[in-house]
Amino acid sequence: KSVVAIVGRPNVGKSTIFNRLVGERISIVENTPGVTRDRIYAEAEWLNTMFNIIDTGGIDISDEPLIVQVREQAQIAIEESDVIVFLVNGREGITAADEEVAKILYKSNKPVVLGVNKVDNYEMQDLLYEFYALGFGQPFPISGTHGLGLGDLLDEAVKHFPTEEQPPEDDDRIRFSLIGRPNVGKSSLVNTLLGEERVIVSNIAGTTKDAIDTDFEKDDREFTIIDTAGMRKRGKVYESTEKYSVLRALKAIERSDVVLVVLDAEEGIIEQDKKIAGYAHEAGKAIVIVVNKWDAVEKSQDTMREFEQEVRQKFQYLSYAPIIFLSAKTKKRIHTLLPIVIEVGENHAKRVKTNLLNEVIEDALAINPTPSIKGQKLKILYTTQVATKPPTFVVFVNDPELMHFTFERFLENRIREAFGFVGTPIKIYARQRK
Ligand code: GDP
């Protein structure tokens, strides 16, 4: 998916525009229990094209002087995005900070679409002319508060989207990434994995813009590690983005089938871990929770069980994800990792037969009849799996409004029990049968 970044000095209206473009999607995202997310990165859609959008204004480096802030945000936008929407304030004209941003963007050779915000009505169009001086061609008048002009701006942005390189869908190579906050041991794990016996690394050179992909083979299975950890450890921008390495993690997640959420046994679980795991969950990827540095923990008989309970309690929405305890350093239980990756990867790609599925649903209904709301009873006519990665089911019903989420959860559990979807989220949608 292409990435659009919104940049501009403070108060030109970046967040307003961001929220407009993202529309109601952001609230859908926030409905996921246990997940809070920074409002800086979201999915949006225009003309049937899905893209990701970043509000660089949401990247909090506010302890820095203004000019440093705008510079760094512009730099982040350049690194992270395919198209940049450069936002200025029509009512204030060009300021020194705008010129600073322009200078950086100009050098980057990234496509830039210039949006002039706060042009709330046609009489204000004259304000546009001075912005030609910024050197990005035609300025697009918009009004964040009134939602005007965004269509034309997006039309222009979409024109600059790169053509997508689609990974071949049908091979059974498993693509996975390791995500987690700095220092949990992601790089160490990658090195240990690749150093394992009988692992044949075939290609490390596949460096893409966002990540370093390593292809390898073990026991005739093919894997790709999408590694974001070792990237660009340099410079000021790196440090400020490190706080938000989240952006990079998100892109790795998007390209993965399986995500290993890496925790540090020594340090325990902190808020940032939850946030990072939440992204993988929302993206619908298969997930394994990896507790690294298990060697460094002083253990009694119950230590593992207690840690596991803590993980379960803090990541309630990841109840489907297996947990493994290992050590990149001593290599203890490292050999269990790839088998689990294979298992959850296969579940993520699994397709179940429609007749079996409907038998399972029928049996489920025999145990637990469908609910009624205001005297109206839910009727389930037919269920089918419409997609994989993650497995997605459509239940055809008399009225989707009658599908209460507790009942949906019940169906999910029955489907999981029957078909063994360990490690993968599954999605269920109720549709009215025509
Ligand atoms: P990353 O930032 O997540 O890639 O973390 P690194 O792989 O750079 O590891 C951070 C630090 O943790 C390094 O000092 C590692 O040596 C150490 N480390 C990594 N894995 C283990 C482990 O299993 N046990 C112990 N005791 N230390 C580890």
Outline which parts of the chain fall under CATH 3.30.300.20.
354-432
Handedness of CA 131, 135, 138, 141 (dihedral sign): negative
> Does the CB atom of residue 295 touch ligand 1 within 6 A?
yes
> Does the CB atom of residue 347 touch ligand 1 within 6 A?
no
Outline which parts of the chain fall under CATH 3.40.50.300.
2-159, 174-348
Distances (CA, A) of 188 to 264, 288, 314: 12, 17, 25
3-state secondary structure of 235: helix
Please spell the DSSP secondary structure of 159-170, one letter per residue: HTPPPP-PPPSS
Mean pLDDT of 71-92: 87
| Annotated binding-site members for GTP | 8-15, 55-59, 117-120, 180-187, 227-231, 292-295
Report the mean per-residue pLDDT for the chain: 84
CATH 3.30.300.20 correct for 354-432: yes
pLDDT(235) > 90: no
Question: Which ligand 1 atom is the nearest neighbour of the CA of 326?
Answer: 23
> Does the CB atom of residue 296 touch ligand 1 within 6 A?
yes
State pLDDT tens for residues 250-282.
778 888 999 999 999 999 998 878 888 888 898
3-state secondary structure of 371: coil
State pLDDT tens for residues 137-155.
999 999 988 888 999 999 9
Q: CATH second-level architecture of 2-159?
A: 3-Layer(aba) Sandwich (3.40)
* Residue owning the nearest CA to atom 9 of ligand 1: 185
Give the range among 15-19, 191-195, 211-215, 297-301 with minimum mean pLDDT: 211-215
* Residue owning the nearest CA to atom 2 of ligand 1: 183
What's the pTM value of the predicted model, to 2 decimals? 0.71
| Annotated binding-site members | 8-15, 55-59, 117-120, 180-187, 227-231, 292-295
> Does the CB atom of residue 192 touch ligand 1 within 6 A?
no
State pLDDT tens for residues 152-183.
999 999 999 987 666 556 678 999 999 888 88
Domain spanning 174-348, CATH class: alpha beta
Burial of 50 (0-12, 13-18, 19+ CB in 10 A): exposed
For residue 62, what pLDDT band results from cuts at 50, 70 and 90? Answer: low
3-state secondary structure of 342: helix
